[in-house]
Chain A
Amino acid sequence: MGSRASLLLRQEEIEEIQRETGFSHNQITRLYSRFTSLDKSQNGALSREDLLRIPELAINPLGERVVQLFFLEGEDEQVNFRQYMRTLARFRPLDPSQKNDKEGVNSREKKLEFAFRMYDLDQDNRISRDEVLQVLRMMVGVNISEEQLGSIADRTILEADTDGDQRISFEEFCKAMERSEVEQKMSVRFLD
């Protein structure tokens, strides 16, 4: 499978992806074989259903939101390999050496941005109370009463909101996440 995949993937393409995403050569071929195995329709692109077959996403309560973000890159309803890689690159673990690298595709900022867009359902660059509530519902299911969820959403907004518009902007989001370990949690180990 791996050899076939590397055959299909041209060398210059690999190099380009390598430059763009920082994955190693091996990782790219491996991920390409994964990509092709997910691609049930064999048309070189993945649909939503294909993506949701990834076990990590399938068990993630927010999996659908993550999948949604795969499609933000292009307007299409399909994800090609480049887009797929670009999104996955966000989850590449952060090397200790590049901790202060703000520009890298897997930098803390980018990870935060990804997370922010995940919660910003209507893409207006603000997380509103309703959006928090929806995320909460996805995360805790029916274990907590609706009313308490509402209070939590209120508290969440109140904690992070600094300009008093009852919504969380990206800056406020970053501020709130400043000392959290989000960059560690938003990393997936890719095999070499």
Chain B
Amino acid sequence: MQESRRRNRLDRRRVRRMSRVEEGVLKKLLPKDEGSDWDSDDVLKPGASSDEEPTEEEILENIQRQKEIIEAIRKQPWRMKKKLKTLKVAQDYLEKYEGKLSKSRGYQEATERVWKKIRRELANFASFFIPWDTRIKTIESYFGSVVASYFIFLRWLFWINIALSILMLSFVVLPELLVGLEYGSLPRKAVPEPEIKLYTCGYLKFSVLFYGYYSNQKSIGSGYQLPLAYFLTGIGMFVYSFVVILRKMAKNSRMAKLSTEDDQFTFCWKVFCGWDYLIGQSDTADNKFAAISTGIREAILEEEEKNKDERSMKEKCLILILRILANFMIMILLAGSGYAIQLVVERSEQFEKMDQALLNWWEQNEVSIVVSIITIVFPVFFDLIGQMEKYHPRVMLQWQLARIMVLNLGNLYTLMIALFKKVNNLAEEARKARVALDTLHQVSENASWALQNVTASGMIQEILQLDEHMLESTNDTQVVDALTRLAGIKEQCWETIVGQEMYKLSVFDMIATLVTTIIVDFLRGLFVRFANYCWCWDLEAKIPGYGEFGVAENVLHLIYNQGMIWMGAFFAPCLPVLNVLKLIALMYLRSWAVIMCNTPHQRVFRASRSNNFYFVLLLIMLFLSMLPTGYVMVSIEPSRNCGPFSGRRRMFDIIPDTVQEQFPAWLTTVLSYMSTAGVILPVFMLLVMAIYYLQSLVRSYKEANNDLRIQLQYERTEGKKKVYEMSAAKNDQSDGSGSSHVRSRHKAQVPNGRLPPGTPLPRFGPKAGSRGPGGSVGFQRAFSPQVRFLPVRQYVNPYEGVILTPHHQQMVQSQPHQRFRRLQYTPQPGTRLVAVPMGHTAGRGTQPHQQPHQQPHQQPHPQSHPQPPPGGFGQQRRMTTGRLSARGAASILVPEGYQLVQVHADAGDEAASSQETSFVDEDFDSIG
């Protein structure tokens, strides 16, 4: 509802903006100047200038033009008469000529209409296919927009993962499956003896699921370069994710750009146009009913939070202390979790060194289990601690999100570090083995060389025999060691191990979620529901109660999960597919749990749709999960016996190699130039400059945007003020001047639905307890003294006063009781002179009813002017000093009781400006 309303508002604004454009169109269309008496017939002239019967083309053009005019005329700042006249001409033309068009044109239009209709129907149809839409809508209406935002985020991630899966499947997995070497054709593609007994696990480990299975053949099938494709897809996955997230964020902030923070007439709209009369289904009606209640509760909460701003100093201190304490505790918890994971990882390293067969299930999976437990249990603590901070729930949610994010990142990173340690160990072993192998080669080469010297017709067999003999004779333990290790390394493909670890984490995470959902939500719900009949306290209302849906931990769970996918997808190309399945399962599991077992939050608050917080977190996650993969690509040596990059020094080498081999030589040269510091540094500088420039551009746009928003706001309030002015005028007529005090109190309110700051609002929640349920206490309309609104009266120039001119001297003389001072005055440029009553400060803070012009009857001589001027001596006026200064000093008569005040020329306002011109004409020269 909120959404659509906002969109509606946006549309209106867009229309308003459009209208300006259309104005331009109209001006172009209308040849004559707007100021001159405009002859509407001109509109028809340009097309029909050729006197003869206009061609069809021209008619079409003209009709189009007339239609545009009709469209745009509404927004023109013209007199009604003129508008009507133009409109009539245009409509007449349409009526007259539209029928003349040939049939084909008519058919064309009809087709257009039908096409439009079909498109709309299709859009309706498509919305039918948005997965889980009704499910999410139902949840939103019962649990509020925040809970729904989780599911919408989940759905969005689901689409992303589908895209990633398609990317991976189509470029990496399927080619390998379809045209790659068959299973068992290479050692890396077959399950080795010792692992065959592990069945599924063993088979899966040596399948397309993992990095190790892919062969390093340069091309498979009819020239598909799998290693290159593997590398590029790995990079493309990250690029795609970045682009998608950034685009989504940009879209969101575009939404936020035009929506003002505080809605006008929130409650009016909620109350008076809450119901949608199109609803004809009882299910939908139930949802709508719930949605209205939820919406109202959200609005109440917003109001409550706004009211909280007025806290006393003591309360503020207390809250500050509490917040510091909370952060302290959370730091401890975070440190604890980091330590625990570190410990477990170290233990697992020890287990690694032992024989795998001896380890039990717990020892094998210790790391994943501990990590899962931490990610599930700690958010509960965070939630408890977060409650004592007393933030607005939305702010609280963000803090909570940030904290859990740190926790998850810590976990993920500890894990990564542990894995890399493992990888490094393996790489180290591999390096040692290679050194040993090299020595072996050298030795054997030397031997064969020696042999060749002895017998030229030496056979290979002999060489080998000698070789063996040598090995035995030298009894070189180093060589033997190397050989055995070589055999051992074959199975150790560290990339596969990393991928396996990621799979394991992901699956365990799912299981943990399932288990906790069942225990924490379902079983608890069952227990509370049914044990309540025979319990000594109210289980439903008190402890334990039904579960609530924790938005923060669930959203972060998603983000964390996605981070794992990003990290692992390079090593296990099918991981996104698994994740898609997982997300579908999560969607059903969570939505079931929410509807079935959870109760709505005590405090339902509104999620801001344009909120980018989830996406910022996701972006951070993406960046961080990209780092390890990038590191692996450019600075770790891939395993020698498995994977598409085996045999290369670095995975990244595939790019320069490909360029060198398959592209013309000049490209290599160009690229090698481009990778020198001489090019990269300037490019880098350029980028930095571009970023800086764009940044400052953004800032200026933001400012302009803000200004426009303020202006819009201002215009809206001004419009309202005018309406209000009118009603005030009506009031003035209806009741006498005696109640002016009462009136001015009402007037102080600007009737735009937005309440002025500082207005005491009706309080919601427990603090309003002093009031009876009947609401007998009337609403207080008092305003705090610091806040002063400009009542309507002050539209009149606050500096108004009296200045006498020679023309009034007669009038002056007819008032013998009034005495005057004659002053010589040399005007300063940029200022003007006014006379104000003594003791009357020329400020805006004056009470409206104290201003002299409101008591015209106390002054005797209003007759010379249609409007009784203040003081009764003449027009309220100002002197245009530009004119005065040209003529030097002037002498001015000032009535007694008045003083001259020099004010800045721009301090006035519209009310007085109309009289200014007439005053300028008056001649001062005769004075003095």
Contacts and interface: CB of A to CB of B under 8 A. Distances in A.
Nearest to B7: A181
A146 interface: yes
B720 A59 contact: no
B268 A160 contact: yes
Which 8 residue pairs spanning A and B have beta carbons closest together? A150-B775, A162-B751, A164-B746, A59-B285, A143-B293, A154-B762, A182-B273, A156-B267
Contacts of A56: 277, 279-280
A188 B751 contact: no
Given A61-B275, A177-B273, A185-B273, A166 B779 contact: yes
Contacts of A187: 277-278
Interface in B712-755: 720, 723-724, 727, 731, 745-746, 749, 751, 753, 755
B774 to A, nearest CB: 7
Contact of B268 (A147, A156, A164): A156
B265 A159 contact: yes
Given A156-B271, A164-B746, A179-B12, 12 more contacts: A55-B280, A56-B280, A60-B285, A143-B290, A148-B764, A152-B296, A153-B271, A154-B779, A155-B303, A160-B265, A180-B265, A186-B273
A66 to B, nearest CB: 8
A59 B753 contact: no
8 contacts: A59-B281, A60-B275, A144-B293, A144-B296, A154-B779, A158-B779, A180-B5, A185-B275
A52 interface: no
A119 interface: yes
B272 A177 contact: yes
Interface stretch (A15-23, A37-45, A69-77, A132-140): A132-140
Interface string A152-192: 11111111111110100000010111011110011111000
Given A154-B775, A179-B9, A181-B8, A136 B278 contact: no
Contacts of B265: 159-160, 176-177, 180
Nearest to A158: B779
A16 B279 CA distance: 30
A62 B276 CA distance: 11
Contacts of B768: 147, 151
Given A60-B275, A176-B265, A158 B762 contact: yes
A91 interface: yes
Interface of B: 4-5, 8-9, 12, 74, 264-282, 285, 289-290, 292-293, 296-297, 299-300, 303, 720, 723-724, 727, 731, 745-746, 749, 751, 753, 755, 761-765, 768-769, 771, 773-775, 778-779, 781
Nearest to A145: B773
Contacts of A140: 289, 292-293, 296
Given A164-B781, A188-B278, A146 B773 contact: yes
A27 interface: no
B570 to A, nearest CB: 49
A166 B778 contact: yes
Nearest to A164: B746
Contacts of B749: 162, 164
B74 A157 contact: no
A2 interface: no
A139 B279 contact: no
A115 interface: yes
Interface string A105-137: 000000000010001000000000100110110
B723 A175 contact: yes
Contacts of A175: 720, 723, 751
Nearest to B4: A181
Interface residues of A, number: 52
A162 B275 contact: no
A89 B278 CA distance: 14
A157 B727 contact: no
A182 B273 CA distance: 6
A175 B771 CA distance: 30
Nearest to B773: A146
A115 B273 contact: yes
A150 B774 contact: yes
A186 B779 contact: no
B5 A163 contact: no
A144 B277 contact: no
A98 interface: no
Contact of A176 (B5, B272, B279, B299): B272
A160 B753 contact: yes
A100 interface: yes
A161 B723 CA distance: 13
B537 to A, nearest CB: 23
A12 B285 CA distance: 38
Contact of B271 (A152, A162, A163): A152
A117 B289 CA distance: 22
Pick from A61, A148, A187, A189 the residue with the most CB of B within 10 Å.
A148
B4 A188 contact: no
A60 B277 contact: yes
Pick from A163, A173, A182, A186 the residue with the most CB of B within 10 Å.
A163
Contacts of B268: 156, 159-160, 176-177
Contact of B762 (A136, A151, A166): A151
A159 B266 contact: yes
B271 A139 contact: yes
B751 to A, nearest CB: 3
B272 A185 contact: no
A39 B689 CA distance: 78
B877 to A, nearest CB: 34
Pick from A132, A139, A155, A160 the residue with the most CB of B within 10 Å.
A155
Contact of B267 (A129, A144, A155): A155
Contacts of B724: 162
Contacts of A91: 277
A176 B753 contact: yes
Contacts of A161: 751
A151 B768 CA distance: 9
A179 B16 CA distance: 13
B277 A153 contact: no
B94 to A, nearest CB: 12
A166 B720 CA distance: 18
Nearest to B727: A163
A157 B279 CA distance: 27
A189 B280 CA distance: 10
Contacts of A100: 74
Nearest to B74: A100
Contacts of B269: 176-177, 180
B267 A180 contact: no
Contacts of A153: 271, 775
Contacts of A185: 273, 275-278
Nearest to B731: A163
A151 B755 contact: no
A148 B300 contact: yes
Contact of A151 (B275, B279, B746, B763): B763
Given A157-B779, A182-B272, A147 B773 contact: yes
Contacts of B277: 56, 60, 91, 185-188
B26 to A, nearest CB: 17
Contacts of A182: 272-273
A119 B724 CA distance: 24
A166 B222 CA distance: 83
Nearest to B779: A154
Contacts of B781: 164
Nearest to B723: A175
A167 B297 CA distance: 23
Given A132-B271, A162-B727, A151 B296 contact: no
Nearest to B274: A139
A151 B770 CA distance: 13
A154 B761 CA distance: 9
A164 B893 CA distance: 45
